[in-house]
Amino acid sequence: MQIKTAVLKASVFNSTQLPKPALPEIAMVGRSNVGKSSLINCLTGRKGLARTSSTPGKTQSINFYLVNEAWYLVDLPGYGYAQVSKKEKASWNRLIEGYLTGRPTLRGLVHLVDIRHPPMESDLVMQDWIRSLGIPALVVATKLDKISRGRRMQHLKAVNAGLGLTNPAIPFSAVTGEGLTELTDALSLWLE
Ligand SMILES: Nc1nc2c(ncn2[C@@H]2O[C@H](COP(=O)(O)OP(=O)(O)OP(=O)(O)O)[C@@H](O)[C@H]2O)c(=O)[nH]1
Ligand SMILES: [Mg+2]
Looking at residue 154, which CATH number applies to its domain? 3.40.50.300
144-159: string of b/e by CB count within 10 Å (b at 16+)?
beebeeeeeeebbebb
pLDDT in tens, 1-59: 899 999 999 999 999 999 999 999 999 999 999 999 999 999 999 999 999 988 877 77
Q: What are phi and psi of 175, to 5 degrees?
A: -85, -45
Total structural domains within the chain = 1
Percent of the chain having pLDDT more than 70?
100
Residue 56 lies in a domain: yes
Residue 109 lies in a domain: yes
Residue 129 lies in a domain: yes
Q: Which domain holds residue 114?
A: 20-191
Q: What angle, rounded to 10 degrees, do the helices at 180-191 and 36-44 form? A: 80
Pocket of ligand 1 contains residue 78 by CB under 6 Å: yes
Pocket of ligand 1 contains residue 41 by CB under 6 Å: no
Q: How many angstroms does the Cα of residue 142 sit away from the middle of ligand 1?
A: 9
Mean pLDDT for the chain overall: 95
Residue 176 lies in a domain: yes
4-36: string of b/e by CB count within 10 Å (b at 16+)?
eebeeeeebeebeebeeeebbbbbbbbbbbbbb
Q: What is the pLDDT of residue 40?
A: 97
Residue 1 lies in a domain: no
pTM: 0.96
- Which has the minimum average pLDDT: 83-92, 94-103, 135-144, 172-181? 83-92
pLDDT in tens, 106-129: 999 999 999 999 999 999 999 999
Residue 12 lies in a domain: no
Residue 2 lies in a domain: no
